[in-house]
Amino acid sequence: MHVVGVIIRYLLGFGYLAGGLGLLAIGGLALWARNWKVGGVSSLLGLVALLGSYESFTYASPFLFWIVLIFFVLLAVAAFLYVTEPDLGIIDRFKSPQRLLKEGKKEKAAIKFKRSGAYRDAGKIYEELDWLASAALCYEEAGEWEKVAQLYLQMGEKEGEDGEYYLRKAREIFEEKLQDFKRAAEVLERLSLLEGWYWEDAAKNWEKVGDAEAARRCWEKALEYYRERVKEDDRVFLSDVADILERLGRKDEAVDVYKEFLAYCREMVEKEERGWLRHVVETLYAMARISGNEEYREEGDKALEEYKAYLDEVIKSEEYKEELLGEVKRWLTERVDRRP
C-alpha cells in the first residue's frame, strides 16, 4: 500500500507540475496582454498547482498536500457543473424550480422544470419571458400541438425569412399533427404573399375541407403566379400552367399550353438531355387524357418506347425502371400532382 501511495503522489506531482506550468504560461500571456482578471486567476492557480507538485513529491506537509488536492477536486467539480449547465449556475443548480421562481429567477426555473420533464410548466414560464421559440419547443415535448401552432403563428408575424420559417412550421403542425386543413390553408395563403408557389398548396387544402370557392380563388392566384414565371422566360412552368387550367375546367386552354410545353421538352431532348423524354411522354398522355384525341396517345406510345430505350442505357435496376414507367403511364389515366 505504501508503494501504491507513493506512485499516486508522484503521478499527482507530475500532473500538478504540468498544469501549474501551463497555467503560469497562460497567466503570463494574459498579463502581458493587460487582461488582469484572467492573468491573475491563472497565475494564482498555477502557483497553487506548483505547491501541490512540491507537496506531492516531498510530502513535507500532509496537511497542505490534502488541502491542495481537495481544492482542485472541488474546482474540477465546480467547473463540470458550470460547463454542463452554464445558464443555471452552480448554486442555483441545487435549488428547486419553485424556489427559483420565488427569487424571481424565471429563466433558471424554466431550465429546472425542463430538466425534470415538466415541459408544460417550463413552456408557461418561457411564454411569460416572451421567449416564444423556447416555449414552443417545450410544448412540443409536452405534445400540446395546438399551443405550439399558435406560438409559431405569433412568431410568423416577423418579417423576412424568420417569419416564413415559423409560418411553415405552423402549417406542418396543422396538417400533420392536428389534421386541421382549414387553418393550414389559411396559413398557406399568408405564405403565398411571401412566395407565390404556396397558392397551389393552399388550394389543395381548401379542396380537402370542401371549400370549392376558396380553392378556385387560390388556383386562380397560382395560375397568375406560374404565368408570371413563364413570362420571366422560365418555360418549365408551362406544365404547371396547363395543370391548373385543367383543374379549373379550361381544358382547351390546357391542351394549348401543353403543346407549348411539349415543344420546350423536345428542344431539351434535342440538346442531348434525353431524360426530358419522360416529360414528352407525360405531356402527350396528358393531352390525350384531356382532349380524348387518340393521335396524342399514339404519339405518346412512340415516345414511351424511346424513353424505355433511354432507361435501358442508364438504369440497371429493372424494379426501378418499372417504377418510373408506371409513374409516366399514370398521366394517361389521371392528373398527377407534382408536389405534396
Sign of CA dihedral 202, 206, 207, 213: negative
Q: What is the pLDDT of residue 25?
A: 85
Angle, helix 238-247 to helix 212-231, in steps of 10 degrees: 160
DSSP 174: I
Give the residue-averaged pLDDT of 195-215. 95
At residue 282, the 3 state secondary structure works out as: helix
Distance CA 117, CA 233 (A): 55
- 202, three cell numbers: 393552399
Number of other residues whose CB lies within 10 A of the CB of residue 289: 21
Q: DSSP character for 271?
A: T
Query: Angle 204-206-212 (CA atoms, 0-180°, nearest 5)?
Result: 105
Q: Which residues, in sequence order, are CB contacts of 141 under 8 Å at separation 6+?
A: 119
User: Percent of the chain, pLDDT > 70?
Assistant: 91
pLDDT, position 86: 53
Instruction: Decide which of 309 and 30 is more confident.
Output: 309
* Domains and their CATH numbers in the chain: 2-84 (no CATH), 211-340 (1.25.40)
Closest listed residue to residue 286, CA positions, set 238, 226, 339, 234: 238
Distance separating alpha carbons of residues 255 and 243, to the nearest angstrom: 9
DSSP label at residue 210 = T
Query: Would you state the cell numbers that stand for residue 317, as one nine-digit string?
Result: 435496376
Whose cell is 382532349? That residue is 291
- Cell numbers given for 272: 442531348
Task: Classify the phi-psi angles of 160: left when phi > 0, otherwise alpha if psi is within -120 to 50, otherwise beta.
Answer: left
In degrees, rounded to 5, the angle at the alpha carbon of residue 248 between the alpha carbons of residues 247 and 253 is: 95
**Virtual CA dihedral for 36, 38, 44, 47, nearest 10 degrees?**
-120
- Find the DSSP H helices in 33-130: 36-58, 62-84, 97-102, 106-115, 119-128
Asked if residue 197 has pLDDT above 70, the reply is: yes
Closest CA to 169 of 127, 140, 203, 193: 140
pLDDT at residue 340, as a whole number: 40
* For the ranges 40-54, 159-173, 200-214, 323-337, the one whose mean pLDDT is highest: 200-214
Average pLDDT over residues 207-216: 96
Q: Are 120 and 142 in contact (CB under 8 A)?
A: yes
Identify the pLDDT of residue 159: 65
Q: What is the DSSP letter of 334?
A: S
Quick: pLDDT tens for 87-97.
566 555 656 66
Angle at 239 between CA 233 and CA 240, to 5 degrees: 90
pLDDT tens for 242-286 read 999 999 999 999 999 999 999 999 999 998 889 999 999 999 999
